[in-house]
Amino acid sequence: MYDVSHNTCKEEEHVVDGVPRRLFVHRKGATRALGPGHPSIPEALRAVGQPVLIGGSMGTASYILVGTAQGMQQSFGSACHGAGRAMSRHAAYRQWQGRQVIDELAGRGILIRSPTSRGVAEEAPGAYKDVAAVVDAAHAAGLAHKVARVEPLICIKG
Task: Provide the pLDDT for residue 145.
Answer: 97
- For the segment 5-33, the average pLDDT, to the nearest whole number, is 90
DSSP 126: G
**In Å, what is the CA distance from 8 to each residue of 86, 123, 136, 151?**
23, 23, 24, 27
User: Is the full-model pTM beyond 0.85?
Assistant: yes
- For the segment 42-47, the average pLDDT, to the nearest whole number, is 94
Sign of CA dihedral 88, 92, 93, 98: negative
Residue 26 falls in the annotated catalytic set = no
How much of the chain, in percent, has pLDDT values that exceed 90? 80
2: pLDDT strictly greater than 80 = no
Task: Provide the pLDDT for residue 1.
Answer: 59
Residue 14 CB neighbours (<10 A): 17
- Where helices occur in the chain by DSSP H, the ranges are 69-75, 89-95, 98-107, 117-122, 131-140
Q: 30 Cβ partners below 8 Å, 6+ apart?
A: 6, 75, 78, 79, 80, 81
Task: Provide the pLDDT for residue 102.
Answer: 96
Residue 13 CB neighbours (<10 A): 13
Which pLDDT tens digit goes with each residue over 79-133? 998 889 999 999 999 999 999 999 999 999 999 999 999 999 999 999 999 999 9
5: pLDDT strictly greater than 90 = no
Task: Provide the pLDDT for residue 134.
Answer: 95
Task: Provide the pLDDT for residue 158.
Answer: 76
DSSP string, 26-38: EEESEEE-PPTT-
With H, G, I as helix, E, B as strand and everything else as coil, classify residue 48.
coil
**In Å, what is the CA distance from 116 to each residue of 93, 107, 128, 130?**
12, 20, 19, 25
6: pLDDT strictly greater than 80 = no
**In Å, what is the CA distance from 74 to each residue of 70, 133, 138, 144, 157?**
6, 20, 11, 11, 34
Q: Which entry of 14, 81, 90, 139 is annotated as an active-site residue?
A: 81
Task: Provide the pLDDT for residue 157.
Answer: 82
